Structure 1
Amino acid sequence: MKPIVTALFTALFFLPGNAAHAAEGMPSMASSVAQMIFGLVIVLAALFGVLAMLRKLQGGRTHLVGGLKVIGATSVGPRERVVLVTVGSKVLVLGVTPGRVNALHTLEASELPLAPEPSPAAPNDFAARLRQMLEKRHAG
């Protein structure tokens, strides 16, 4: 009785499902791994192909243009901004909306007012004031 159960178990779980596979025998582990790696290579090649196509469709957006630097920007509406851009020795004031960019004004870089630098005394004043408050607290 035991040999029959063993033979049925072997037939159900280890033999291929159809007659064509039965003639070939079980696929080896190496061929299974090779097939898996081949499929992975195909999927990765397709992924890189799609990414390359997307880059081409975007146009020149991925290329950096030398000499442009955004100095600052501020929002003037829900979807509108004013942007300062340096191009060489010129500073462009641009109005940017979702569908349009307008040149509002052009300045020389020397005409642009420099932002005031924070004074180094400000952190020291805070530290001195904090120290005073802590001393008062511990004394009282």
Structure 2
Amino acid sequence: MLPRGFALLSFAFIPLARAAEGGAVSSAPDLGASALSMFFGLIVVLALLIGALWLMKRLGQPHGAAAGLMRVVAGVAVGPRERVVILELGNSWLVLGVAPGQVTTLAEIPRQELPPGVALSTAGEFPDWLKRMVHRREK
């Protein structure tokens, strides 16, 4: 009886033995089919990545009563990595100081009505900042 490792190694040489019996191993590879296969694989991987990101975003959002429990009313940068944020929680606003690795409650005030035309989120700050930076570099 042969040792187990030797038996497994012998299976690696079976294709070589068949090629010696039958002549040529195979024809030249088809480059068009290889490129098409690689492109299709890339599309599948990108689609899976986009789907996973969408699913993570969808599952990370609060649902039901928790969705309206908290929201960011306003925020302003007071330093390179520090911000002051107003967070609405129920019928009160929390004024928070946010720094790397630390969130501090600065004040708690009753909920107020915002003046008309004031945005409730800080989502518009980045595009405005980017426009200012591009305009500043063009000068």
Give the TM bin, normalised by the shorter chain: 0.3 to 0.5
Compute the TM-score of the two structures, normalised by the length of structure 1.
0.42
TM-score by length of 2: 0.42
Larger proportion of helix = 1
- Bigger Rg, structure 1 or 2: 1
